[in-house]
Amino acid sequence: MLERVPAIARKEIRELRRDPIYLGLAFAIPLMMMLLFGFGLTLDVKHLPLAFEDHDGTPWSRDYRDRFLHSEYFDLAGVLDRHADVEAWLRTGRARVIIEIPPGFGRDLARGRPTSVGVTVDGSFPARAAVITGYVGAINGLYNQDALAAFAARRGLAGGALLPVQAEMSVWYNPTLESKNAVVPGILVLVLMLFPALLGALLIVREKESGSIFNLYASPTGRLEIILGKLLPQLAVAMIDYSILFGLSRWVFDVRFTGSLVVLTTGALLYSVCTIGIGLLISILARSQLAAMFATFLVTLTTAFNYSGFVTPVASMDAVGQFIAQLIPATHFMTLVRGSYLKGLGFAYYWPQLGALAVYTLVIYALAWGALRKRIG
Amino acid sequence: MRRRLLAMLLKEFRQLAADWPIVLIILWGFFGGVYLSGHAGAVDLNNYPVVVLDLSHSEESRELISRLRPPNFKIVAAVQGDREVVEYLDAARASLAVIIPPDFAHAVQERRGRFQVISDGTQAQMATLAAAYIAQIGGQYALQLHERRAGPAAGQLSQLPQVDARIRVSFNPAIQVAWFSSLFELFNMITMTSLLLTAAAFVREKEHGTLEQLQVSPLRPAELFAAKIIPSMLVVLVLSPLSLYGVVHGLHGTPLRGSVLLFYSVTLLFVFSIASLGLALAVIARNLPQAMMLMLLTLWPMMFLSGAMAPPESMTPWLKVLSLISPLRYYLDLGFQVLFKGNGLADVWHDVLGIAVLGSGLFAFSVRRFRRLY
């Protein structure tokens, strides 16, 4: 019953080969995206412009200021003289955070008394504001620990005596916390969501617009044959994209790969079938190429981006966010990819993800099969 | 000229209206999509999943654990052994493990209490943030223990040289992500609508062979392009205020502090710029699949480089330079400055300039290229 699949596939391959620009772009764009973002995109928030309003001007306040500037997280944007400037600097973005050191800061610390500083953070970009808040708290905390230790030393106590509890931090899977180890595998997931879906999105609706779909309707070709015949050539393109991206990640970006290539490739294959299916389903439902393209962009570009866990861990989302995240295949594949690259686990660990992708794929193709009506009008 | 343009415009609107699925999709994007995006990005540590292995079973260890609480942390499990800790981290059911050694209580009494924290580094940014929070929690607990121990012997803590950092977040005091993400999604929708509608409207004429008809008609290239751009402008102009007031402001409570009039004037200019980009791509592409690839090639980097993923000041220098040719970067900056901070034209004129220069450059390119082609 599937004997006409090769014929349909051959026709699709021929069409791909007759549009070398399109085919070239289908390989070139993932490559360019990976190079661009792998090298350029860092999700680290660093070099934030910081301004001080120093009313103290003692060695103590200078020492405190240096603590912030010696970290790579902050760059000095300037020192303010008047309080009136604080608002203007934050408003125009000259500074993202302003620390106001009150008069008497050094005097209080010298006498061993507590003091305070006022920190104003630009909250217009929440990600940045949250990170700034964390950094300021941590740097201030370190300053306090040292201040206490110095104080204790002056009083003739042992150095660490004032710190009865301390955390010993260690980081697993990505010990240097390099952004690239998170970004590069993440790009792989996003590209394999976007591209196959877009490859699939125009396949059927294009024939509807040009009218050649009637040839298919009139032929004895079955619905499953049409779907499979259209799927296979695109799947080949998607898997070549996958190989290119994987190669780049290993040999250009030097991302550690500790897991099993078999698991990753199985996952990528299943995932690509699934995402092509999403495009195909949209293509079957849509009446115009524009609608199919718009819907695919909406579903893949923004949804995968927001909910896959690329930036925000799914566990940190609210209930609605988590629910949506579970509904999209990118989330499951992201877990598998990150784990395969960094955690070095085998098949046994990824049955839930592979299972979810398989179920997803079956549902998508069942819907596509049901929606593909071989009739006119 | 006006009559020719009007006739062409009428045709464009008819075509758009006849394609009712696209109308539904755009409506969904402007309302459903913008609403849902408010649930997507949690940027702070929000219920960061923690697995706890408490080998001490002491008052001290329990007190330390009790400090790992929402909104920042959420304890997903208290386990009995190392193996389970590893399992939780491997399966990504927890992103942080806190291990308290058996002699913790005793060690705390001797002022050398140490506990182990293992952080899942696959999400580097969150791991960094988690480390900062854990350090703070440890420090605060230590201070309180110290204070308690000093006990009645006078408020010792108030006698210690400590700096209290009083942090205040302006413009968004509670760091509500939805305020940002819904507005960002609206900007994305405006961008996508302007780009896709315009480019597809033009390429369609190419694919159906009707471009040649238009070519021999009295319609001038600039009029043809205007007729392709104006529908996108109208769609954005009608839908985005509804979405802005209804969803972004209404449902998510985002404060709108600035001049909406200024914002919409620039939005029109921005739609013109992006639509011109769409035209430029449509003139280059021979068919819609090619145009789609080219749109992806421009749309994706624009979203990445807009400054919403990582702030512009943290970008790699060459990427920062590259972001200067992205109209969305200027628009995002302007949108947040005007709507969110209440800034005026004096603060954002350079953004307006950037959008205008890019837009007119692209428009001129499309017209010239189009003339050369036919």
Residues A278 and A300: their CA atoms lie apart, in Å, by 9
pLDDT at A87: 80
pLDDT-wise least confident of A216-220, A240-244, B174-178: B174-178
Residues B167 and B164: their CA atoms lie apart, in Å, by 9
Taking an 8 Å cut-off on Cβ atoms, the answer to whether B33 and A43 are in contact is no
Highest mean predicted confidence (pLDDT) among A228-242, A338-352, B15-29, B219-233: A228-242
pLDDT at B318: 82
Closest residue to B166, CB basis, from A32, A119, A293: A119
Helix (H, G, I), strand (E, B) or coil at B169: strand
pLDDT-wise least confident of A86-100, A156-170, B56-70: A156-170
Residues B356 and B276: their CA atoms lie apart, in Å, by 11
Non-local CB neighbours of B197 within 8 Å, separated by 6+ positions? A290, B16, B231, B232, B235, B275, B278
**Helix spans in B209-287 (H):** 210-216, 221-243, 260-284
Q: Which element (helix H / strand E) includes B129?
A: helix B124-150
Residues A106 and A112: their CA atoms lie apart, in Å, by 10
Report the gap between the CA of A19 and the closest CA in chain B (Å): 9
pLDDT at B37: 83
pLDDT at B154: 42
Taking an 8 Å cut-off on Cβ atoms, the answer to whether A164 and B111 are in contact is yes
Model confidence at A198: pLDDT above 50: yes
Strand A74-80, strand A48-54: pairing: parallel
pLDDT at A283: 93
pLDDT digit string, tens, across residues B321-358: 888 888 999 999 899 889 888 888 888 898 999 999 99
pLDDT at A170: 72
Torsion of CA B300, B304, B305, B307, to 10 degrees: 140
Residues in chain A closer than 8 A to B73 (CB atoms)? none
A125, A230, A255, A257: which to substitute to probe chain B, counting the most B Cβ within 10 Å?
A125
**Helix spans in chain A (H):** 5-18, 20-40, 59-69, 84-92, 105-110, 126-154, 179-201, 203-210, 213-218, 223-247, 261-285, 289-296, 305-307, 319-327, 329-338, 351-371
Taking an 8 Å cut-off on Cβ atoms, the answer to whether B163 and A305 are in contact is no
Taking an 8 Å cut-off on Cβ atoms, the answer to whether B139 and A145 are in contact is yes
The type of residue at A279 is G
Residues in chain B closer than 8 A to A26 (CB atoms)? 293
Strand B48-54, strand B73-79: pairing: parallel
Q: Comparing A43 with A145, which gets the higher pLDDT?
A: A145
pLDDT at A90: 85
pLDDT digit string, tens, across residues B129-155: 788 788 778 877 877 777 676 654 444
pLDDT at A296: 92
Residues B320 and B312: their CA atoms lie apart, in Å, by 7
Residues B228 and B289: their CA atoms lie apart, in Å, by 19
Alpha-carbon separation of residue A210 from A206, A282, A283, B342 (angstroms): 6, 17, 14, 50
Residues A4 and B160: their CA atoms lie apart, in Å, by 83
Non-local CB neighbours of B302 within 8 Å, separated by 6+ positions? B191, B326, B327, B328, B329
Model confidence at A268: pLDDT above 90: yes
Residues A376 and A367: their CA atoms lie apart, in Å, by 19
Taking an 8 Å cut-off on Cβ atoms, the answer to whether A47 and B45 are in contact is no
Model confidence at A148: pLDDT above 80: no
Tokens of B274: 């992006």
Query: Is the CB of residue B251 less than 8 Å away from at least one CB of chain A?
Result: no
Q: Comparing A307 with A262, which gets the higher pLDDT?
A: A262
Residues B319 and B326: their CA atoms lie apart, in Å, by 11
Mark A11-38 as b/e (b = at least 16 C-beta within 10 Å): ebbeebeeeebbbebbeebbeebbebbb
Instruction: Give me the residues of chain B with pLDDT under 50, please.
Output: 152-155
Tokens of A285: 């439902």
Residues in chain A closer than 8 A to B163 (CB atoms)? 64, 105, 109, 114-117, 140, 143-144, 147
ipTM attached to this prediction: 0.84
Taking an 8 Å cut-off on Cβ atoms, the answer to whether A126 and B179 are in contact is yes
Residue A257 has, within 13 A of its CA and on its CB side, a CA count of 19
Model confidence at A159: pLDDT above 50: no
Residues B320 and B168: their CA atoms lie apart, in Å, by 29
Q: Pick the closest to residue B184 from A298, A125, A40, A310 (CA basis).
A: A125
| C-beta of residue B310 within 8 angstroms of C-beta of residue A43 | yes
Taking an 8 Å cut-off on Cβ atoms, the answer to whether B180 and A124 are in contact is yes
Q: Which residue of A has its CA nearest to B318?
A: A40
Sole residue written with tokens 């769409």:
B278
Question: What predicted TM-score, i.e. pTM, was given to this entire model?
Answer: 0.85
Tokens of A36: 């661009």
Residues A33 and A92: their CA atoms lie apart, in Å, by 32
Where residue A359 falls among pLDDT bands split at 50, 70, 90?
Answer: very high
